[in-house]
Chain A
């Protein structure tokens, strides 16, 4: 096969931290190659160097056998390299068409040539099956559609190599399939795709070749046919990942949390929960699946006591939860792992030991009367940090200095130390590496086995599938259905359809 791009001995450091350590990476013509690795492995850094966003410390880049210097994305695009970032770079108030041609010279000089642009855009839409209305404003589009606009933007610039940075993180299963279809068309034209991901299943599905990075070095390169998920996982994390499968058995008991007819507004004043009913039972994990923005966050807020519902009730056993303050809710025995771990779950600018008791510092043995017993708190914190293997320089470290996975471990340690009867965990592993993710899954399963009723809100379908005993799908503030896995197998396609609002089960 013909090499289209070759990166040799690429090295990049950030303030002394090595992000890429003499990496060699080749892109062949007409292939889909995946860059697989945990967060911080150096995948995005390597591709940002290729796209001219970072300057390499050393190393060489060859395009079609010719040595090149890429100093800006403009240079990269001129060489036929395009990149779609995790965070989109679109102007919300402009239309799709306007966004696509933004920054390009017009063939008519000072006058915009929208018509010829529209023609070219339509061709791209048709050819690559990237369905989107050219005249829609960006703010009107869903996240999946916005991503398509980003891809169209790149294709419009006649690129041969398309780099996609974690493109599926924001998509529904259907949208992922559509994206993959587009990528295959692109590939069949003899063009190349670099697919950055840490999701094994997707990588196995779409790639021809997989290059695995760990801590800034290449730990392996495999043809798809020659490998399997287990091997890739091992190369990625450096150890065999124990598959955290849903533990059968355990005794599912009586309902612990009952949600009855909850209606609530979102921050914009729009009805985000349209009267929902469900219950979470002792010893089970209820997974809440759904694409972001379908009421999961509002549901989390209502249960956690930071959003007042318009109507309805929530009961923990027989006690009313609705209308209670966060403090009262914690005291009732509800554990909360919020989606926003940086701005809700923790206070980043106080020491680790204070965060470990912040939900119950006012109870014995940590407090007596008006006084607080820091000696006791520190003892407790030392114990938890050890028990939950939190990596921190000490319990005195300012919490901000910890990595994402360790921040989440802090929350987990704090919450589980109180043995909550009911636990709500929202996006508990988002942005975490596989090791931390495994650990958190394991701990949630342990809590479940010990009899906690757990509600798991996650956008990561794999996580939901791995952990949940029942799966509840939310769409536009309503429950589309609940799949009880003790009674039936999960039909992924059906699940996806429910998440996309295309199918509703009559339940309850």
Chain B
């Protein structure tokens, strides 16, 4: 009798530890290899391209500072998404929450309040956090209380927020001098100070570092962190065992959205000093890739964010030097996420031949 071999996925009992370290590295390498194929197809030397990319991001002091400027929002959105995913709040909406934060920061900034920087800047941070948090809370509340699918709500709310921003920029906030759809500059006292001279690196990066410490502390040292891990691992059991999973999801949605909102504050107050509709080239979405590549682990998220800062910044140099479309950085990010997701499957499951 002839029977075809059948395969099935089997849940691993104990995923080996080295997997967790090796897997993201392998995902990065595989994704670069696949991207190299695309580069080769358009007739560019992939090695030269990647050389340009990495040198463009790390080759000199200026390049490194620009990479840090990019890393600033990426760390924040990565942390925001990672904390959310830990609780299985599938926050695909960091992009929209970033815009909500940017919008609120601009609103406060263009009021040109007579405040010293030591008050104005913390206020900016606070309103940005609150705006992102509230925008995320809508989806968090719907999920926790009514079991509305959070992937759908958070994703779609991105578009709502981005269109709200565009509507405002094309309407009431249109710059009366230039007539461009961008706001007037925010108050000088609301600008984040530069922390590296002759560069664009601003105080926002301190927020990013703070966010990393916050995540570590939250997950490792607080009761809420315990509740987040339990809720994320099995909400039904967590509820049975006395954890208020509704409350946990709601708090996580607030924290996650707030941190994503901070990324928007940083872009407005630290980089652009006014609001434009393209203030984020998809930092919120990159946050998803970063969180996954970082294995939802604090250090992992930091490293992944720095890596993508290199890719995004380096791709600009590569595209200028070699006439490669800048979208190559999106391609690399997308492929990295897909490879990582495929590898996660192997991480949690193994393929067994069944007879």
The yes or no verdict on A and B being binding partners is yes
Residues of A within 8 A of B (CB): 55, 71-72, 304, 306, 325-327, 329-330, 338, 343-350, 354, 358-359, 361-362, 367, 370-372, 374, 397-398, 400-401
* Interface membership of B230, Cβ < 8 A: yes
Question: Which of B222, B243, B244, B355 contacts A358 (CB under 8 A)?
Answer: B243
Chain B residues with CB under 8 A of A362: 223
Q: Are B229's CB and A350's CB within 8 A?
A: yes
- The A-contacting residues of B in range 169-193, CB under 8 angstroms, are none
- The A-contacting residues of B in range 244-265, CB under 8 angstroms, are 244
Known: A347-B234, A358-B238. 17 other contacts (CB 8 A): A71-B1, A306-B240, A326-B239, A326-B241, A326-B242, A327-B242, A330-B242, A343-B234, A343-B236, A348-B233, A348-B234, A358-B242, A359-B241, A362-B223, A371-B223, A372-B222, A372-B223
Chain A residues with CB under 8 A of B3: 72
List 14 A-B residue pairs with CB atoms under 8 Å apart, sorted by A's residue number: A306-B240, A326-B241, A326-B242, A327-B243, A330-B242, A343-B237, A347-B234, A358-B243, A367-B223, A370-B224, A372-B222, A374-B221, A397-B14, A401-B14
Q: Are B1's CB and A372's CB within 8 A?
A: no
Chain A residues with CB under 8 A of B242: 325-327, 329-330, 358-359
Chain B residues with CB under 8 A of A348: 233-234
| Closest Cβ–Cβ distance, residue A50 to chain B (whole Å) | 16
Chain B residues with CB under 8 A of A397: 14
Residues of B within 8 A of A (CB): 1, 3, 13-14, 220-226, 229-230, 233-234, 236-244, 355
A329–B222 Cα gap in the complex (Å)? 23
Question: Which of A347, A370, A374, A400 contacts B241 (CB under 8 A)?
Answer: A347
Chain B residues with CB under 8 A of A329: 242
Q: Are B223's CB and A358's CB within 8 A?
A: no
8 closest pairs, A vs B, by CB?
A327-B242, A349-B233, A344-B240, A326-B242, A347-B234, A347-B233, A347-B237, A358-B241
Chain B residues with CB under 8 A of A326: 239-242
| Closest Cβ–Cβ distance, residue A22 to chain B (whole Å) | 22
Chain B residues with CB under 8 A of A400: 13
| Closest Cβ–Cβ distance, residue A369 to chain B (whole Å) | 8
A39–B20 Cα gap in the complex (Å)? 33
Specify the chain A residue showing the minimal Cβ separation from B355: A55
Chain A residues with CB under 8 A of B220: 374
A306–B241 Cα gap in the complex (Å)? 10
Chain B residues with CB under 8 A of A55: 355
Knowing A72-B1, A325-B244, A330-B242, say if A354 contacts B14 (CB, 8 Å).
no
Q: Are B239's CB and A347's CB within 8 A?
A: no
Chain A residues with CB under 8 A of B14: 397-398, 401
Q: Are B226's CB and A354's CB within 8 A?
A: yes
A72–B2 Cα gap in the complex (Å)? 11
Chain B residues with CB under 8 A of A372: 221-223, 225-226
Q: Are B226's CB and A338's CB within 8 A?
A: no
Q: Are B226's CB and A346's CB within 8 A?
A: no
Chain B residues with CB under 8 A of A374: 220-221
A467–B222 Cα gap in the complex (Å)? 41
A327–B245 Cα gap in the complex (Å)? 11
A348–B241 Cα gap in the complex (Å)? 13
Chain B residues with CB under 8 A of A398: 14
Specify the chain A residue showing the minimal Cβ separation from B233: A349
Chain A residues with CB under 8 A of B238: 347, 358
| Closest Cβ–Cβ distance, residue A329 to chain B (whole Å) | 8
Chain B residues with CB under 8 A of A349: 233-234
Specify the chain B residue showing the minimal Cβ separation from A398: B14
| Closest Cβ–Cβ distance, residue B200 to chain A (whole Å) | 37
Chain A residues with CB under 8 A of B1: 71-72
Specify the chain A residue showing the minimal Cβ separation from B217: A371
Q: Are A344's CB and B237's CB within 8 A?
A: yes
Chain B residues with CB under 8 A of A367: 223
Chain B residues with CB under 8 A of A401: 13-14
A348–B233 Cα gap in the complex (Å)? 8
Q: Are A304's CB and B240's CB within 8 A?
A: yes
| Closest Cβ–Cβ distance, residue B242 to chain A (whole Å) | 4
A367–B221 Cα gap in the complex (Å)? 10
Among B221, B233, B355, residue most surrounded by chain A Cβ atoms (within 10 Å): B233
Specify the chain B residue showing the minimal Cβ separation from A373: B221
Specify the chain B residue showing the minimal Cβ separation from A301: B240
| Closest Cβ–Cβ distance, residue A412 to chain B (whole Å) | 15
Specify the chain A residue showing the minimal Cβ separation from B240: A344
| Closest Cβ–Cβ distance, residue A286 to chain B (whole Å) | 22
| Closest Cβ–Cβ distance, residue A57 to chain B (whole Å) | 12
Specify the chain B residue showing the minimal Cβ separation from A414: B241
| Closest Cβ–Cβ distance, residue B153 to chain A (whole Å) | 25
Chain B residues with CB under 8 A of A370: 222-224
Chain B residues with CB under 8 A of A330: 242
| Closest Cβ–Cβ distance, residue A15 to chain B (whole Å) | 9
A362–B44 Cα gap in the complex (Å)? 59
Specify the chain B residue showing the minimal Cβ separation from A54: B355
Q: Are A350's CB and B230's CB within 8 A?
A: yes
Specify the chain A residue showing the minimal Cβ separation from B237: A347
Chain B residues with CB under 8 A of A327: 242-244
Q: Are B240's CB and A354's CB within 8 A?
A: no
A361–B228 Cα gap in the complex (Å)? 13
Chain A residues with CB under 8 A of B223: 361-362, 367, 370-372
Among B226, B230, B237, B355, residue most surrounded by chain A Cβ atoms (within 10 Å): B237
Q: Are A306's CB and B222's CB within 8 A?
A: no
A371–B226 Cα gap in the complex (Å)? 10
Among B14, B220, B234, residue most surrounded by chain A Cβ atoms (within 10 Å): B234
Chain B residues with CB under 8 A of A325: 242, 244
| Closest Cβ–Cβ distance, residue A16 to chain B (whole Å) | 13
A372–B236 Cα gap in the complex (Å)? 22
| Closest Cβ–Cβ distance, residue B253 to chain A (whole Å) | 18
Chain A residues with CB under 8 A of B13: 400-401
| Closest Cβ–Cβ distance, residue A154 to chain B (whole Å) | 21
Among B1, B220, B240, residue most surrounded by chain A Cβ atoms (within 10 Å): B240
A224–B220 Cα gap in the complex (Å)? 59
A89–B238 Cα gap in the complex (Å)? 33
Chain A residues with CB under 8 A of B234: 343, 347-349
Q: Are B241's CB and A354's CB within 8 A?
A: no
A476–B160 Cα gap in the complex (Å)? 52
Question: Which of B221, B236, B355 contacts A344 (CB under 8 A)?
Answer: B236
A362–B1 Cα gap in the complex (Å)? 61
Q: Are B233's CB and A306's CB within 8 A?
A: no
Q: Are B237's CB and A354's CB within 8 A?
A: no
A7–B221 Cα gap in the complex (Å)? 58
A347–B241 Cα gap in the complex (Å)? 9
Chain B residues with CB under 8 A of A343: 234, 236-237
Question: Which of B230, B239, B355 contacts A354 (CB under 8 A)?
Answer: B230
A367–B154 Cα gap in the complex (Å)? 33
Chain A residues with CB under 8 A of B226: 354, 361, 372
| Closest Cβ–Cβ distance, residue B350 to chain A (whole Å) | 10
Q: Are A338's CB and B244's CB within 8 A?
A: no
| Closest Cβ–Cβ distance, residue A423 to chain B (whole Å) | 16
| Closest Cβ–Cβ distance, residue B246 to chain A (whole Å) | 10
Chain A residues with CB under 8 A of B243: 327, 358
Specify the chain A residue showing the minimal Cβ separation from B230: A347
Chain B residues with CB under 8 A of A359: 241-242
A164–B242 Cα gap in the complex (Å)? 41
Chain A residues with CB under 8 A of B236: 343-344
A349–B348 Cα gap in the complex (Å)? 11
Q: Are B230's CB and A358's CB within 8 A?
A: yes
A397–B13 Cα gap in the complex (Å)? 11
A329–B3 Cα gap in the complex (Å)? 55
Knowing A346-B237, A347-B238, A361-B223, say if A354 contacts B229 (CB, 8 Å).
yes
A345–B239 Cα gap in the complex (Å)? 10
